[in-house]
Amino acid sequence: MGHFAFQEPPLEEIPISAMKLLWGRAKYTPHAEQEPIHAALSTPGGTPEIPAPRAVVVGGGIQAGKSVMSGNHILGRFMFDEITWLVGRRYKDCEKEYQYCRDAAVAAGYAKKEDCSYAVDGPWEMKFLNGHVLKTLSSDDTTRLASEAPDGIIMCEPGRQTREAFETCWERVVPKSGYLAVVGTFERSAGWYRSLWREFQGPNTYGGISMSLPSYSNRHFYPQGQNDPKFQAELTRAKNDPVGWDRFQERFLGIPRIPHDMVFYEFSRPLHVSSHAEYQPGVEVQIAIDPGFYPSAAVVLFIQVVQGQVRVFDEIYVHKVLRKDVITMVEQHFSFPYITRGVIDPYGGSQHGMGAESAEEEWQQRLAPRGIRVVQAPRRSVDDRIGRVHDYLHQNPLLGAAGLLFAPRVKQTVLEFEGWIDDEGHERGYRYPMTSDGRVTSDTPIPQDDHAVSCIGYFLIEQFGFTDIKRVMPKNVAGRSSFGKLDRNPYGGRSLAGVRR
């Protein structure tokens, strides 16, 4: 087995100082932008009592040194781990990471060249002197990822893979509470990868975080880092081209672009998605209903209002499900005994199918005997509904928080607010029409992917009317005029991280 032997890492984490000792012989020194990512991946998830895997989603700028960082992260942990996977859609997607790790390990004397396999198309496998094994795997067939429990997995080029592959990788690192690094670029990437990065910007069910590795972290191309003249020239060009700013952030800063056409441009996961919105025992539960019309989507949101703050703690968001079955799902929800009332889309009363009763009538007949009153929201314009949601998305100074919160499990509703790109490459979410060069062409949103946001707008109108916001917010923050479409930045309005204008 050679001179090297496995060492148990400290309980709290594998310190960067220990990894740096191993990197020293391999002549790798992480730059300031890389070291926090190494540290995040080496910090265990969960708690000391209940350990959990550590998931980190990394968005990289072009030529940011993602492969070098990934290969050397494996190298820095080889004394503490037994099995590591590099997973790509094709073996070729893992080639650079494998080669960097292999070459550095052989040069440093941590592995022998004859113990490192290499074929043109893969798979490849290398064994360190202490027995640590590094393997490359293809996620084209997720059943191949079920053979063993690795200590760590790095997904290479995740934008070419599927959400199913991510879920499978997550399941494989659970037994050892290992780490899962999802490292790639956002250009021409699958929609789930962009959405996951945004999801990991706030509380999430994986306990993961998302980070960015900007292009200037590559000191070969940008010797002076962020202050390098070449990077500053790119930055100046982007600042002078508002439409190109998001592309710059995505291409050079590793931040997925913010769609300019989103209706609720101010929505932010760190601000609006919080564990504070989880179900609170003893607090009245209300439901907001978009009954849909088969086969379109039907949505039910489960809501509690706490000190004036509207908290959406769960959702039913289904397609091609009969109305009676949606109601049954509500009746089986854990909070059903505590539901006191429902607010239904005001047009639900006119939604009839095949001569049957309206949506409102069907919901009333099923829920009224259980003591739940279903009421129609007032019929108001799309502008009124959107404006009311804008009001509650913004900071309430009396609460010190936004007036509208979502629990991490309320996933599909959140996607309507922030937008996503589906696996076929189509842009989704509640949007305004936009030209190919990034210009919004109308103040009327496209009527799609708006089921949940409509539920919320109607609920706010029915529950609070249009005047209460002026009692809890400063004069210059009250009402739709402060946040409505007339005042919106036509190019977006916020930057998630990194360099700001």
247-260 tens-digit pLDDT: 888 889 999 876 67
Query: Residue 248: its pLDDT value, please?
Result: 87
Copy the structure tokens of residue 141.
């067939």
Hey, CA dihedral for 219, 209, 83, 14, is it positive or negative?
Answer: positive
Mean pLDDT throughout 478-496?
32
Phi, psi of 22 (to 5 degrees): -75, -35
What is the pLDDT, as a whole number, of residue 435?
Answer: 79
Q: 44-48, 200-204, 224-228, 276-280: which has the highest mean pLDDT?
A: 276-280
Domain extents for the chain? 16-217, 269-487
Which three-class secondary structure state does DSSP give residue 149? coil
**Whole-number pLDDT of residue 479:** 35
- Cα–Cα dist 269/210, whole Å: 12
Mean pLDDT of 356-381: 87
Could you tell me whether strands 133-138 and 54-60 are parallel, antiparallel, or unpaired per DSSP bridges?
unpaired
Q: pTM above 0.85?
A: no
Residue 12 pLDDT: 42
The rounded distance, in Å, linking the Cα atoms of 146 and 172 is 7
23: helix, strand or coil: helix
Q: 10 Å Cβ neighbour count for 144?
A: 13
pLDDT number for residue 185? 92
Amino acid occupying residue 250 = E
**What average pLDDT score do residues 398-408 get?**
88
User: Tell me, what's the pLDDT at 486?
Assistant: 29
Confidence class for position 390, pLDDT limits 50, 70, 90: very high
Q: Is the pLDDT of residue 456 over 50?
A: yes
Rounded distance between C-alpha atoms, residue 222 and residue 219, angstroms: 5
How large is the average pLDDT for residues 219-236?
Answer: 91
Q: Are 86 and 154 in contact (CB under 8 A)?
A: yes
Q: What pLDDT does 158 receive?
A: 93
- Average the pLDDT over 255-272 and give the result: 82
Quote the pLDDT of residue 243. Answer: 63
Q: How many residues does the chain have?
A: 501
Sole residue written with tokens 């259980």: 370
Say what the pLDDT of residue 301 is. Answer: 98
Q: What is the mean pLDDT of the chain?
A: 84
CB 301 within 8 A of CB 291: no
In this structure, the number of other CB atoms found within 10 A of the CB of residue 39 comes to 16
How many CB atoms sit inside 10 A of residue 128's CB?
25
pLDDT, greater one: 50 or 301: 301
Please name the helix (run of DSSP H) or strand (run of DSSP E) that holds residue 184, with its range, or none. strand 179-184
What is the reported pLDDT for 46?
A: 75
Q: 21-30, 183-192, 202-211, 278-287: which range is least confident on average?
A: 183-192
As given in the structure block, the two tokens for residue 273 are 């998605």
pLDDT value at residue 249: 87
Is the predicted pLDDT of residue 23 greater than 60, yes or no? yes
CA 199 to chain centre: 2
Which CATH topology does 269-487 take? Answer: Nucleotidyltransferase; domain 5 (3.30.420)
Return the higher-pLDDT residue of 183 and 423.
Answer: 183
DSSP H or E segment with residue 133: strand 133-138
Say if residue 156's pLDDT is above 50.
yes
Whether omega before 337 lies within 30 degrees of 0, making that bond cis, reads: no
Residue 478: pLDDT band (50, 70, 90) is very low
Predicted local confidence at residue 53, as pLDDT: 86
Going by C-alpha positions, the residue among 204, 191, 123 that lies closest to residue 160 is 191
Of the candidates 73, 69, 79, 71, the one whose C-alpha atom is nearest the C-alpha of residue 110 is 79
3-state SS, residue 340: strand
Regarding predicted confidence, which is higher, 395 or 350?
395
pLDDT in tens, 276-326: 999 999 999 999 999 987 677 899 999 999 988 999 999 999 998 998 999
Predicted pLDDT of residue 163 = 83
**Alpha carbons 367 and 428: distance in angstroms, whole number:** 33
pLDDT at 494 over 70: no
For residues 407-416, average pLDDT: 92
How confident is residue 484, by pLDDT bands cut at 50, 70 and 90?
very low
- Please name the residue ranges forming H helices in 12-94: 16-26, 35-41, 66-76
Residue 412 sits at φ, ψ, to 5 deg, of: -70, -35
Tokens 């706010």 map to which residue?
A: 460
Report how far residue 26's alpha carbon sits from residue 17's, in angstroms, rounded to the nearest whole number: 15
Cβ atoms of 396 and 472 closer than 8 Å: yes
For residues 309 and 418, the answer to whether their CB atoms sit within 8 Å is: no
The gap from C-alpha 209 to its chain's centroid, in whole angstroms, comes to 9
Residue 264 DSSP label: S
User: What average pLDDT does the segment 173-197 reach?
Assistant: 88
Maximum mean pLDDT: which of 184-193, 278-287, 288-297, 369-378: 278-287
Give the residue with greater pLDDT, 145 vs 196.
196
346: which 2 tokens?
């005001």
The pLDDT of residue 473: 41
Using pLDDT thresholds of 50, 70 and 90, give the confidence band for residue 238. confident
Q: Check if the beta carbon of residue 41 is closer than 8 Å to that of residue 57.
A: no
Determine contact, residues 106/112, Cβ cutoff 8 Å. Answer: yes
pLDDT at 65: 92
- Where b means 16+ CB within 10 Å and e means fewer, 421-450 reads beeeeeebbbbbebeeebebeeeebeeebb
**pLDDT bucket at 37, cuts 50 / 70 / 90:** very high
Compute the distance between CA of residue 349 and CA of residue 334 in angstroms, rounded to an integer. Answer: 27
Per-residue pLDDT, 489: 35
CATH class belonging to 16-217: alpha beta
What pLDDT, in 10s, does the model give residues 52-106? 889 999 999 999 999 999 999 999 999 999 999 999 999 999 999 999 999 999 9
Q: Count of CB atoms within 10 A of residue 352's CB?
A: 13
Q: Which residue has the higher pLDDT, 140 or 210?
A: 210
Preceding omega of 123 cis (within 30 degrees of 0): yes
The token duo for 337 is 């005994």
How much is the pLDDT for 499?
31
